[in-house]
Amino acid sequence: MKDTIRQLIQQALARLTTAGVLPQGLSPAIQVENSRDKTHGDFASNIAMMLAKPAGLKPRELAEQLIAALPADPQISKVEIAGPGFLNFYQDQQGLAQRLDAALADAQLNVRKAGPAQRVVVDLSSPNLAKEMHVGHLRSTIIGDGVARVLEFLGDTVIRQNHVGDWGTQFGMLLAYMEENPSAADSELSDLEQFYRASKKRFDDSPEFAERARELVVALQANDADCLRLWNRFNEISLSHCQHAYDRLGAKLSPADVKGESAYNDQLADIVHALGSKGLLSESNGAQCVFIDEFKNAEGNPLPVIVQKAGGGYLYATTDLAAMRYRSEQLKADRALYFVDQRQALHFQMAFEVARRAGFVHPGMQLEHMGFGTMNGADGRPFKTRDGGTVKLIDLLDEAEERAYSLVKAKNPELDDAELRKIGHVVGIGAVKYADLSKHRSSDYSFNFEQMLSFEGNTAPYLLYAYTRVASVFRKLERSMDGSLDGQIRLEATQEIDLASKLAQFTEVLNNVADKGTPHILCTYLYELAGLFSSFYEHCPILTAADAATQQSRLRLAALSGRTLQQGLELLGLQTLERM
């Protein structure tokens, strides 16, 4: 709807330019907002205030001229001037009802992408395989998966890339330990954290061991067959742990999405070479660097992106440059989104800039770091176990499911245990994911079981419960929530109109999530939708409606609410339940 209004304003501006009211060559960003107070219309724009000056008119005068120049549109019933010169648009309720009827009949709920479909690389999860995946990787996995799902739903081609850390000096230590304890691979590796600690201890305690670890790094880099075998075995086990976590979380990630750092090894020399031939390299203390003037340290000196160490080794940035080139040239991406800790912001800004200057990505390719904050404990401090260790993802999910199970059991003691377990799973995992998704990704976030499992507020249990309320209406009537329902939507009560306006925003909300990579926008939307549904449900009886046409209309609104909630939750990666 906002897009429609923007287009109407655009046309009015063009008319006024032709008529000489506005000067040539203006291309303002036309802003259209949802009105808070519906008695002043549904949408408002400040365009007349923005352009009054160049037009040499008072804002209200320009607003009048704009209204006269606006083309008629069946979706808009009237436009008024308000305050200093706002344009207030009233949406035509019949048009709104018709659009919702059409959405109900459409499997895609009439959601369309605002721009052309794109090929989008989503870089997500990307844990380091040397250690067990921990809570820090939760955010990248969950948020990245949520955005990827929204992009797919809008019709983009999404290529998930799990850029796992499967290379580097720490592997020497791990391989040395595997070599020393041949049986460890099968027993101790089931607990990677343990394995890592044991090898680190050997490395610190024994100079011979440390020496062997260094030899193994060299051998690994020289593609020594025995070494590669051990390394492969290690990564296989570590990746299977990750896959187990993805499955448990319901994240759409598979082994086919893994394209680890090592996959770019054979291109790193060429990356450095290419940078050299473009004249972008300088040597600094024996290391090969690209200096970019825009990035300076505290003393005002340009910061380097180091691409090759004095000893010849390559770095994290070198691999990222190779990955960008691959994503542009081989994957033909229009856009690449990096769901990585906010603390890597500078790394990405600089690496993106180097890739552009070197021509590693095509000029139109969008490169975006979708940074996220740190996950803290309920006390606001970095998330740790009681004894200070890192919290394992799997332990966390176990606890979430167990707590959800107990909560639901206390509420519904009559349900059998198998169903309670199923509900516990959906609610527990959903709560963990939703808590993360519902905050703006760039802020730090406190992990708090009580809060995320509460049935009140913007939480998974609240939304899942809201969905079951809709589902129960349809279960009682033995109807399904789709276009096979009779009748048409008619908007009469304010609760119906408010719910309908919210439902009509679904497309816009999803487009926003896709543009900004911020699933919390969808969470807020679903939470508001659930609230509006709840008032509608209280004030506009369905089963006891006065007449058949009213009942049909309300059922259709309820169906579209249920479908939108269900679809929205699915896009966030949450399952829904028919009852709980």
Applying CB under 6 A, the residues found at the interface with ligand ARG are 123, 126-128, 163, 165, 320, 323, 338, 340
Question: Min. distance of Cβ 274 from ligand ARG in angstroms?
Answer: 19
Beta carbon of residue 473, minimum distance to ligand ARG (angstroms, whole number): 45
Tell me whether residue 163 or residue 439 sits nearer to ligand ARG (CB atom): 163
Residue (87 or 121) nearer to ligand ARG, CB: 121
Give the CB-nearest residue to ligand ARG: 126
Parallel/antiparallel/unpaired status of strands 119-123 and 157-161? parallel
Instruction: Locate 139 and state its tokens.
Output: 């955010």
Closest listed residue to residue 231, CA positions, set 170, 144, 190: 170
Residue closer to ligand ARG (CB basis): 144 or 568 = 144
Which structure tokens are listed for 376? Answer: 């803290």
For residues 45 and 170, which CB has a smaller minimum distance to ligand ARG in the complex?
170
CB of 350 to ligand ARG, least distance (A): 12
Q: Which is nearer to ligand ARG, 168 or 428 (CB)?
A: 168
- In terms of CB distance, is 44 or 361 closer to ligand ARG? 361
Give the nearest distance from C-beta 312 to ligand ARG in angstroms.
22
- Find out whether 320 and 349 touch, Cβ atoms under 8 Å: no
Radius of gyration of the chain (CA): 28
Of the pair 338, 525, the CB lying nearest ligand ARG is at: 338
Closest of 294, 307, 301, 308 to residue 349, by C-alpha: 294
510 with 570: CB under 8 angstroms? no
What are the CA-CA distances from residue 275 to residues 281, 290, 312 (Å)?
Answer: 6, 8, 15
Helix (H) or strand (E) holding 9: helix 2-18
Least distance between ligand ARG and beta carbon 304 (Å): 18
Cα Dmax for the chain: 87
Beta strands in 391-474, from DSSP E residues, in sequence order: 445-446
- Shortest Cβ 381–ligand ARG spacing (Å): 21
CB of 201 to ligand ARG, least distance (A): 23
3-state secondary structure of 291: strand
Nearer to ligand ARG, 8 or 340 (CB): 340
CB nearer to ligand ARG: pick between 323 and 521: 323
Q: How far is the CB of 107 from ligand ARG (least distance, A)?
A: 34
Those residues whose C-beta lies under 8 Å from the C-beta of residue 263, and which sit 6 or more positions away, are: none
Q: Label residues 402-421 b or e (16+ Cβ within 10 Å = b).
A: ebbbebbbeeeeebeeeebb
CB closer to ligand ARG out of 344 and 454: 344
Q: Are 150 and 523 in contact (CB under 8 A)?
A: no
Q: How far is CA 486 from CA 477, 480, 554, in A?
A: 13, 11, 11
CB of 429 to ligand ARG, least distance (A): 22
Dist. CA 331–CA 204, nearest whole Å: 42
Q: Least distance in Å: CB of 129 to ligand ARG?
A: 9
Q: Which residues contact 318 (CB under 8 A, 6 or more apart)?
A: 268, 271, 272, 307, 308
